[in-house]
Amino acid sequence: MKTSVIIVGGGMAGLTCAVELERRGVEYRLLEAGSRLGGRVVTDQVEGFLLDRGFQVLLTGYPEVRRLWAMENLRLRRVRSGAVIRRQGRWLTLPDPLRHPSELLQALRSPVGSLMDKIRVALLALSSLGRNADNSFVGTSQTTLQYLQGCGFSEGMIETFWRPFLAGVFLDWELSTGADMFRFLLPLFAFGRVAVPAGGMQQLPIQLERRLTPGRVALETRVEKLEGTRCWDQSGQLWEGDQLVLALDGSGADHLLGRETEVRWSSSCTTYFAAPRSIGGQGRLHLNADGAQSCIQHFTCMSDFAPEYAPAGQHLISVSSLFGSPSEAELRGQLQEWYGAEVDDWRMLRQVSLPQSLPRLEPGIRPRELKIGAGLWRCGDYTAYPSLNAAVASGRIVAESLGYGEPK
């Protein structure tokens, strides 16, 4: 099979690359090892519940989002901003006065952080306005924890809010993720929205897949050998392109290239429960500031902000663990401590453990070169910073760099 471009891997990066080639009228073949497109973005339907494979959200401020998707088609359901925090046996509510100005007084009185901490949050958020991926990823050598300490936040503010909140974003309780990632995300969280499509996160790849010409995608086609711009799948079939794009996850790409991989992964485990009632909090994220001694680091009632995620009359609780995969008994023990006998009525639907959830962004790392040989390219979240935005942006940039001009 000979064509202009071979794309290996049909996650968000490979799909975006294919969409951009379609727009330019370029012949390509997209080879995907799995039985569907979307890579790490999947939604399973179980008994009428929508279960994303791992708790994932879309930040509406991601620069690539509006470029790629028609917002009205995604039917976004927004997470309520602010948080409910568990700290030393108490529930604390942290309102978000930037989104809900009427909650300003409540926010100032909240025991989460001192008044100076709150002023620092506001100043830091304002100073981040206008910052984007281009001017965030400058190779800062600090970890996020060092950066927050350098900003003057109190230990109480870091331990009660920043650590449990950012640990859920980075999947990194230590906050050893490079501070550039924090600098990039801050304005998106402060001034944008956090949301999921009403039909589940898999709507993101599904809506891109609809733009591809039928017959150009080969599913269940695992590339096992690579030589220049030629590759062979598991059946030994040769696929040859004038150019070839590796859109696999980072470890997979390095393996095909015969290189020792430098990609390190953060893991996650999400457990879903069906419940007859919500846990309260009006659709806010629940953070466990005592998470270092617990099997649960954050959790939320998905159906409070996205009712489509649960059948009528039921609720979907998503529980996230960062230190391995706890048993149902362990999870129930922790949840019962918080919610008492109510948890007896919850039914575990599924547990999703993903050892390779997010590539780690080590401090000081700069985005990787996308051109790696004559006619050979790569894209994917690991080439820049771990997120949907990076996956999609790198897929687009590679498609634009292949030399086929502007979209028709």
Ligand X SMILES: Cc1cc2nc3c(=O)[nH]c(=O)nc-3n(C[C@H](O)[C@H](O)[C@H](O)COP(=O)(O)OP(=O)(O)OC[C@H]3O[C@@H](n4cnc5c(N)ncnc54)[C@H](O)[C@@H]3O)c2cc1C
Determine the Cα–Cα distance for residues 5 and 21; give it in Å rounded to an integer.
9
Tell me how far the alpha carbon of residue 275 is from its chain's centroid: 25
Determine the Cα–Cα distance for residues 313 and 42; give it in Å rounded to an integer.
25
Size of the site for ligand X (CB under 6 A): 34
Adjacent-strand bridge partners of 46: 49
Compute the least distance from the CB of residue 260 to ligand X, in Å.
17
Contact flag: residue 393 with ligand X (CB under 6 A): no
Contact flag: residue 51 with ligand X (CB under 6 A): no
Per the structure block, which two tokens stand in for 136?
């965030």
Contact flag: residue 391 with ligand X (CB under 6 A): yes
Which of 66, 277 has the CB closer to ligand X? 66
Which of 110, 128 has the CB closer to ligand X? 128
Question: Considering only residues 12, 17, 65, 79, which one is a binding residue for ligand X as defined by CB under 6 A?
Answer: 12
Closest to 363 (Cα-Cα) out of 183, 167, 156 = 183
Question: Considering only residues 5, 6, 7, 10, which one is a binding residue for ligand X as defined by CB under 6 A?
Answer: 10
Compute the least distance from the CB of residue 58 to ligand X, in Å.
7
Tell me how far the alpha carbon of residue 365 is from its chain's centroid: 19
Quick one: which segment of 3-11, 109-117, 129-137, 139-147 binds ligand X (CB under 6 A)?
3-11
Binding mask 245-274 vs ligand X (x if CB under 6 A, - otherwise)?
A: --xxx--x---------------x------
Question: Considering only residues 5, 6, 7, 11, which one is a binding residue for ligand X as defined by CB under 6 A?
Answer: 11
Determine the Cα–Cα distance for residues 79 and 61; give it in Å rounded to an integer.
14
Compute the least distance from the CB of residue 115 to ligand X, in Å.
31
Which of 110, 266 has the CB closer to ligand X? 266
Determine the Cα–Cα distance for residues 271 and 318; give it in Å rounded to an integer.
6
Determine the Cα–Cα distance for residues 106 and 96; give it in Å rounded to an integer.
9
DSSP state of 290: T
In this structure, the chain runs to a length of 408
- Near ligand X in 18-47, by CB under 6 A: 31-34, 39-41
Rg (CA), the chain: 22
Question: Considering only residues 97, 197, 199, 386, which one is a binding residue for ligand X as defined by CB under 6 A?
Answer: 386
Compute the least distance from the CB of residue 337 to ligand X, in Å.
25
- Near ligand X in 82-141, by CB under 6 A: none
Contact flag: residue 205 with ligand X (CB under 6 A): no
Compute the least distance from the CB of residue 305 to ligand X, in Å.
14
By the 10 Å C-beta count (0-12 exposed, 13-18 middle, 19+ buried), 175 is classed as buried
Contact flag: residue 358 with ligand X (CB under 6 A): yes
Residue with tokens 């598991």: 234
Residues 6+ apart with CB under 8 A from 221: 31, 32, 33, 233, 234, 237
Determine the Cα–Cα distance for residues 64 and 61; give it in Å rounded to an integer.
8
Contact flag: residue 381 with ligand X (CB under 6 A): yes
Tell me how far the alpha carbon of residue 56 is from its chain's centroid: 5
Contact flag: residue 9 with ligand X (CB under 6 A): yes
Answer whether 158's CB lies under 8 Å from 284's CB. no
Contact flag: residue 177 with ligand X (CB under 6 A): no
Compute the least distance from the CB of residue 357 to ligand X, in Å.
4
Question: Considering only residues 257, 354, 372, 376, which one is a binding residue for ligand X as defined by CB under 6 A?
Answer: 354
Longest dimension (CA), the chain: 67
Compute the least distance from the CB of residue 49 to ligand X, in Å.
17
Q: What residues line the site for ligand X (CB under 6 A)?
A: 8-14, 31-34, 39-41, 54, 56-57, 222-223, 247-249, 252, 268, 354, 357-358, 380-381, 386-389, 391
